[in-house]
């Protein structure tokens, strides 16, 4: 074994090594839990879930490597400052503490904070996929893409739709009007953005904000906050459980 390492630091104490191993196994367990419990999709696009499998495995390997270090004698380190300090341990413990103590919830109505995109939203070439999708199978994102690809809102008059989302209202919305909203997530919730379809329900009052609903009806072009856009005229609205995957993925 080579012995020419330039910087030699004292071996970390047994307690620090055990703390490192415990933290790494803890993080491995946390990642595994988010995968098994399904809460992973509260944080990232389901498309990238496999990366969390990789993380869980690598954290566990790191924990095992840290434990193996307990068997060995004094070890040299490549960096003079790479001896693990208390601040490093605390920092790596932060996600574990927050992830464990704060119940996992997807972003919902409270996270919108007035920032919601209405109607048309462009997602580039993805509009092509719409051609093969039946209107009743389209979600809010699909409809937004369809609106973006068609300049005239009245082109959707009479089209039937059934969408899932949560209720969102603002004080300046017209009477009996609300948004059926979802968050879109491209990568992780860092880029989450709320997207809504205006809906009009003449027959009843609007449900409480944040209630997950399935809304069926047909589109009619109308004015919504000064903008001409297809508005979903509600024929049936049913409160439902929040879906397992709450976000839409562009």
Is the Cβ of residue 36 or residue 61 nearer to another protein in the bound state?
61
Shortest distance in whole angstroms from residue 114 CB to another protein:
8
Is the Cβ of residue 192 or residue 234 nearer to another protein in the bound state?
192
Shortest distance in whole angstroms from residue 70 CB to another protein:
11
Shortest distance in whole angstroms from residue 179 CB to another protein:
14
Is the Cβ of residue 146 or residue 215 nearer to another protein in the bound state?
146
Shortest distance in whole angstroms from residue 198 CB to another protein:
17
User: Helix/strand/coil (H, E, C) string of the chain?
Assistant: CCCCCCCCCCCCCHHHHHHHHHHHHHHHHHHHHHHHHCHHHHCECHHHHHHHHHHHHHHHHHHHHHHHHHHCCCCCCCCCCCCCCHHHHHHHHHHHHHHHHCCCCCCCHHHCCCCEEECCCCCHHHHHHHHHCCHHHCCHHHHHHHHHHCCCHHHHCCCEEEEEEEEECCCCCCCCEEEEEEEECCCEHHHCEEEEEEEECCCCCCCCCCCEEEEEEEEEEEEECCEEEEEEEEEEEEECCCCCCCCECC
């Amino acid at each position: 074994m080579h012995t020419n390492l330039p910087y030699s630091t004292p071996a970390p104490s047994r307690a620090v090594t055990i703390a490192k191993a415990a933290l790494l196994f803890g993080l491995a367990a946390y990642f595994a839990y988010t995968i098994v419990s399904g809460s992973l999709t509260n944080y990232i696009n389901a498309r990238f879930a496999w990366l969390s499998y990789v993380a869980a495995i690598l954290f566990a390997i790191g924990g095992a490597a840290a434990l193996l270090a307990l068997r060995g004698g004094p070890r040299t380190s490549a960096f003079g400052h790479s001896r693990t300090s208390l601040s490093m341990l605390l920092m790596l413990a932060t996600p574990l503490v927050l992830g464990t103590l704060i119940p996992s919830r997807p972003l919902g109505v409270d996270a919108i904070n007035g920032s919601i995109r209405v109607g048309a939203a462009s997602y580039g070439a993805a509009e092509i996929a719409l051609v093969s999708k039946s209107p009743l199978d389209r979600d809010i994102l699909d409809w937004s893409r369809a609106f973006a690809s068609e300049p005239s809102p009245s082109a959707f008059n009479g089209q039937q739709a059934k969408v899932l989302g949560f209720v969102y209202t603002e004080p300046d919305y017209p009477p009996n009007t609300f948004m059926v909203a979802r968050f879109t997530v491209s990568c992780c919730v860092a880029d989450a953005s709320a997207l809504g379809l205006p809906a009009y329900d003449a027959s009843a009052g609007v449900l409480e904000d944040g209630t997950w609903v399935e809304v069926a009806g047909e589109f009619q072009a109308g004015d919504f906050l000064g903008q001409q856009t297809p508005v979903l005229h509600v024929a049936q609205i049913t409160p439902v459980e929040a879906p397992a995957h709450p976000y839409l993925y562009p």
